[in-house]
Amino acid sequence: MRKQIYIASVVLTAIALFWPILYGNITILMRIPGDPVLQAVAGVLVFGTLAYFTYGEDEGAEGEEAEEEFTASG
């Protein structure tokens, strides 16, 4: 579940980075009230933070245990 949240938040962060460009070129998006630059900054902060906290380095814990068995001395 964390991996799907991570992937979705990375995609939404990428969309938020280009939000002012999309907002200016797609007329239906112009109906959304507010400043597109502030919306982009908020999107990057929210979704970027979510991606940061859901990034799972602990998923490779099984591989780390297997690597610890192989040492140069034994």
17-73: per-residue pLDDT in tens? 999 999 999 999 999 999 999 999 999 999 999 999 999 876 555 555 545 666 677
Dist CA 15 CA 41 (whole Å): 11
- Bigger pLDDT: 4 or 58? 4
The predicted structure's pLDDT at residue 59: 55
Token pair of 47 as six digits: 């979704």
Dist CA 27 CA 12 (whole Å): 20
Q: What is the pTM of this model?
A: 0.71
Sign of the CA dihedral running 36, 41, 46, 52: positive
- Distances in Å between the Cα of 20 and the Cα atoms of 48, 56, 66, 74 are 17, 30, 47, 58
The predicted structure's pLDDT at residue 58: 61
